[in-house]
Structure 1
Amino acid sequence: MASFAILAAHLLAVTDISPVELLPSGQWHVEYAKSSCIISRPFGAKPNTTLFGLKPAPNSDVVTILVIQPSPKGRGVGGIADVRLSSGLVPAPAYFSSVTTNGVRVTTINLPRTALDGLAKGDSIAIDAAKVVNVLLAPTSFDKALKALNDCESDLLTSWGFDKAAQAEIATPPKGTLQGLVRNDDYPDKAIDANASGSVGFRLKIEADGSIGACDVLESSGNRDLDGTTCAVMKKRAHYQPAMGHDGKPRWTYTFGRVTWMLEY
């Protein structure tokens, strides 16, 4: 019988092996997409290049690290990663999930957005995610990459209908977490029968009272039941402290989230 894990429910210990030190092998790249902004940079020589990226959620205190490496097929895993900046250990649990598809392993790690400040001021980041990632990266010119990322995020919110004038009115972003909202028994029976897994990226409209006014899937898992269940759960259970304007009044806004559904046997 299949069992399943959602997000990072299957905890694995970090390793004690020294990380592989990798230097940049290309320039920073900014990707403008309808769902999010990504900055990325390759590290190490081909054919074993590691792609390091950052994918923050607009108006969120969470940023997702992406580590993409060549890899044969392997099972999906999740747990808590050890993430260290040159300025020190990230002061929060860094949950990760890792899946292999089409010859590459994609590992995502969620960090508090405040960690970006430490990375911008430092000169290295070490990532140890169980046995799937163990690297030490030295991303130079990170401050310039972050500036480009911020510009991209502003343009993204504008494309969603939250124009720059409305953005300028926000003094503090909404506060809340999606961690733990999706439960094991939420996994749709049809998706289990179809052996379906994957990540769902979704946009949430956070109303001025903190409720969820709309949920739209922008990055499909490829399975309709997983996509639909994700938004149904978010609209039912998610709640935020709303964004606040400079006048002290609550404002509606958007944010972006992601849920990874994994089947294990």
Structure 2
Amino acid sequence: MGMAAALVMASQAAAAPVPPTPSGPWQVEFADQRCVASRPYTTASGPMVLGVEPSPDGEGVRFLVRVEAAAKESLGFAPGKLVVNGRQVADRVLFWRGGNNGLIAFAEGDKDADPQNLVRLREVRTVALQTKRLSADLALTGTEKLAGVLATCNRGLLESWGFAAAEQDRLASWPKMEGRLPITFNDYPASAIKNGESGEVRTRLTVGADGRVTQCALRSGSGFAVLDNATCALLQRRARFTPARDKEGKPMAAPAFQTVIWMVPGN
């Protein structure tokens, strides 16, 4: 699989982009909560890792760009553009601290706001991520093959969560949240605000045939139990879904995936 890309840090924006050189092959990680493909690159400004993570339900792709970061690099949301196949699908980027002092930029289309923002990996040909800190302009090839590998990985992941292969085969449509995310800043735990605790909580919900959430599990936590617990409690109590449907049009139980960002202003 080949990939041509150009990556420059914001401080080098005036210089001609230097194409990164792959320093390793694509690797697919089959962890207990996600399937992601990543490939390391060597660039003029240091090492970079590009990652792609399709949602287990096929509803969109998260793009990850990991670079080295200064010790005092500010984190949180920043204005930016995620452009896929020439179409802008997101207008903000989340910067988060990774391991070994790495900085990770996350971006994906907001599937809850506009179904047209959905991005499917097999259709991706170009990806551009543009922020003040980071500019990545990528041309991808072989995404159909990579999407197939990750789809197989996600099928096994769903089985490991109890969504049997036979149930996956009879599924015609996934659960869809009704309305907007039922969590607002007013729900922010007071202790977390006081302590300046922010984080991203990625959840895996079990949605019954009646559209109600019967179970919430963490795919990845924020690092703060109060935020993780609040997320699951609120989603289980408030979230309502149009239930999944089987191929005969009957409602059925199925998983749904929801991410909640808790961000103290100023962080």
Shift of 1:214: 0.9
Instruction: Give the aligned residue type for 1:126.
Output: A
In structure 1, the partner of 2:30 is 32
Structure 2: runs of 5 or more not aligned: 1-12, 110-116
Instruction: Give the aligned residue type for 2:252.
Output: R
Instruction: Give the aligned residue type for 1:257.
Output: Q
In structure 1, the partner of 2:113 is none
Structure 2 counterparts to residues 196-207 of structure 1, below 5 A: 196-207=197-208
Whether contact under 8 Å (1:71, 1:103) holds in the other structure is yes
Whether contact under 8 Å (1:43, 1:50) holds in the other structure is yes
Whether contact under 8 Å (2:189, 2:227) holds in the other structure is yes
In structure 2, the partner of 1:230 is 231
In structure 1, the partner of 2:75 is 76
Structure 2 distance, partners of 1:135, 1:38, is 19
The answer as to 2:51 corresponding to 1:50 is no
Query: What is the DSSP-based 3-state SS (H/G/I as helix, E as strand, rest coil) of the residue aligned with 2:73?
Result: coil
Structure 2 distance, partners of 1:115, 1:167, is 19
Structure 1 residues 232 and 185, CA, compared in 2 at 3 Å: closer, same or farther?
Answer: same
Whether contact under 8 Å (2:62, 2:106) holds in the other structure is yes
Bigger drift between 133-142 and 64-73 goes to 133-142
Structure 2 counterparts to residues 176-187 of structure 1, below 5 A: 176=177, 180-187=181-188
Whether contact under 8 Å (1:197, 1:263) holds in the other structure is yes
Whether contact under 8 Å (2:201, 2:222) holds in the other structure is yes
RMSD of aligned residue pairs (Cα, Å): 2.6
Deviating 4+ runs (over 6 angstroms): none
Structure 1 residues 169 and 213, CA, compared in 2 at 3 Å: closer, same or farther?
Answer: same
Shift of 1:257: 2.5
In structure 2, the partner of 1:109 is 107
Instruction: Give the aligned residue type for 1:68.
Output: R
Whether contact under 8 Å (1:95, 1:110) holds in the other structure is no
Structure 1 residues 24 and 84, CA, compared in 2 at 3 Å: closer, same or farther?
Answer: farther
Whether contact under 8 Å (2:122, 2:145) holds in the other structure is no
Shift of 1:177: 7.2
In structure 1, the partner of 2:253 is 252
Q: How many residue pairs are counted as aligned between the two chains?
A: 244
Whether contact under 8 Å (2:50, 2:66) holds in the other structure is yes
Shift of 1:255: 2.4
In the superposition, the TM-score normalised over structure 1's length comes to 0.81
1:53-98 CA-partner distances (Å, limit 9, x unpaired): 122332252322111111113222314532233x4214x4354211
In structure 2, the partner of 1:190 is 191
Q: Which has the higher contact order (CA 8 A, sep 6+)?
A: 1
